[in-house]
Amino acid sequence: MSTRKHTALPKAQTLIEALPWLTRHHGKTVVIKFGGNAMVDEELKSAFAQDVVFLRHAGLKPVVVHGGGPQISAQLDRHGLVSEFKAGLRVTTPEAMDVVRMVLAGQVQRELVGLLNQHGPLAVGMTGEDANTITAVQHFPQIDGEPVDIGRVGEITEINIGAIEALLDDGRIPVVSSIARSADDNHVFNVNADTAAAALAAALNAETLMVLTDVEGLYEDWPNSDEVISRLTAKELEKLLPELASGMVPKMQGCLFAVRNGVTTARVIDGRVQHSILLEIFTDEGIGTMVVPDAEGAEAAKVTERTVTEGES
């Protein structure tokens, strides 16, 4: 008697391929920085929400951190406020800060919480102000060696993870807007979302920091080549930092900070690819660029990877 050919068999094989990675990541915290195209394209937004919920049901503890550059610029336009940038950062007047807060906490975060909660009562939105999660002082970037006042832009001084841990322990998905309470006055600061995600990943002792971008990863020799570096150590990344395009600098600095402060791996992945998060975490190929700690950390990561790979054969 011939065995009937089951059309669903490839699905089973795909699930089995994910098994070693499911085992490895079970119970681990993963911090995901949501941004770029994934934040404005409806299909990508929906796929992102599915991925995050999948991680939660697969036994991981996802934490989402977001900014909202395009949405902030659009809302400032509507209010007749000019978007000005210095040293790659938005000049944030007190009036602009009100708009930033409104957009991040009242629009971007609400939409993301809504998308996640289509799959169950999982997501809880908060900003860095809540329970003093993120505290900052004013950031003065250097231009030509001189500090420049760019308004309510913050430099993180302290992270308090109590509220996020309580939500994770309750099986929830925290969605954090990158706004910080001020350490020295009664106002708030706009903080770079890449930086906030890295600081939270380190404080939470996360297994992984994932940063969604609009490129495939870190390029080997851009613009001469579009070959992506799939893996590099903290030291190797540090050497490359001065050569990077300005938009990639806070992302890669965040990755560097994370792996130097206890996070096992930091990854920059292409948010323009649907389900890029699942492809990165649960497949052998992975996509994007992975940063690992130096020396001992890198060796440990290699051993873990080899064990996982051998487990699949």
pLDDT band, residue 223 (cuts 50/70/90): low
| pLDDT band at residue 298 under the 50/70/90 scheme | very low
| pLDDT tens track for 227-275 | 888 899 999 999 988 888 777 888 999 999 999 999 999 999 999 999 9
Q: What is the pTM of this model?
A: 0.89
Average pLDDT on 159-176 reads 98
DSSP state of 70: H
Strand ranges for the chain from DSSP E: 29-34, 61-66, 85-86, 89-90, 123-127, 134-138, 142-143, 146-147, 154-159, 173-177, 179-182, 188-190, 208-213, 218-219, 228-229, 231-233, 265-270, 289-292
Tokens for 122, please give them. 């999982």
CA distances to 50, 73, 105, 112, 182 from 80, in Å: 36, 10, 20, 26, 26
Length of the chain as a residue count: 313
- For residue range 35-80, list pLDDT tens digits in order: 888 888 899 999 999 999 999 999 999 999 999 988 999 999 999 9
Helices 249-260 and 193-203: crossing angle in degrees, nearest 10, is 10
Confidence of residue 283 (pLDDT cuts 50, 70, 90): confident
pLDDT on residue 48 = 95
**Taking all residues of the chain, what is their mean pLDDT, rounded to a whole number?**
88
Token reading at 25: 């990541």
| Euclidean distance between CA atoms 174 and 1, whole angstroms | 53
pLDDT at 312: 36
Count the Cβ atoms, other than its own, within 10 Å of residue 70.
15
Provide the 3-class DSSP secondary structure of residue 74. helix
- The number of beta carbons lying within 10 Å of the beta carbon of residue 251 is 28
